[in-house]
């Protein structure tokens, strides 16, 4: 799935990107491995890879069960940029987007900033929508 996202995102901007460690030889080798090398008897995925990396990569990373992909620290960014976020949410552009219920968005932001609410992607998307609308001069309802 991540490879597909990477490919679609890069090709959308006519950029030919490479995934340097995924070669046809590596893929063929992986497909030739017995299942127990891919998934250990206890259900651990990537068993052969984890075994090969043991001693090179910290155990805390190899033994993780949660999948975070390529996570970025949006909550930390937004908290650090709180005055900027306040300005985006209070902007004329934000008020001009009819789909936004700004008092609710503001309440969500206040909750996230104070730690009363967990970070949610909704706020991140709203901020990006407002900035996109502003950057491209989009008008709604005209």
Residues 14-45: pLDDT tens digits? Answer: 887 777 778 889 889 988 999 888 899 988 88
Same-domain check for residues 85 and 53: no
What is the C-alpha separation between 72 and 32, in angstroms, rounded?
34
Structural domain includes residue 68? no
Structural domain includes residue 67? no
| DSSP reduced 3-state for 107 | helix
Is pTM beyond 0.75? Reply is no
Structure tokens at 124: 């991140």
Give the model's pLDDT for residue 73. 85
What is the C-alpha separation between 120 and 16, in angstroms, rounded?
32
Same-domain check for residues 15 and 41: yes
Question: What domain range is 18 assigned to?
Answer: 2-62
Structural domain includes residue 9? yes
Structural domain includes residue 142? no
Per-residue pLDDT at 142 exceeds 70? no
Give the model's pLDDT for residue 70. 67
* Structural domains in the chain (count): 2
**Which has the closest alpha carbon to 78: 43, 116, 124?**
124
Q: Which residues contact 55 (CB under 8 A, 6 or more apart)?
A: none
């Amino acid at each position: 799935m991540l490879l597909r996202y990477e490919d679609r995102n890069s090709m959308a901007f006519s950029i030919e990107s490479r995934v340097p460690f995924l070669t046809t030889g590596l893929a063929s080798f992986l497909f030739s491995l017995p299942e127990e090398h891919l998934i250990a008897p206890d259900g651990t995925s990537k068993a052969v890879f984890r075994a090969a990396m043991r001693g090179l990569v910290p155990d805390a990373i190899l033994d993780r069960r949660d999948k975070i992909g390529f996570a970025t620290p949006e909550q930390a960014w937004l908290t650090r940029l709180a005055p900027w976020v306040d300005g985006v949410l209070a902007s004329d552009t934000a008020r001009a987007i009819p789909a936004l219920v700004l008092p609710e968005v503001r309440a969500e932001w206040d909750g996230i900033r104070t730690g009363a609410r967990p970070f949610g992607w909704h706020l991140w998307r709203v901020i990006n929508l407002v900035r996109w609308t502003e950057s491209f001069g989009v008008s709604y309802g005209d």
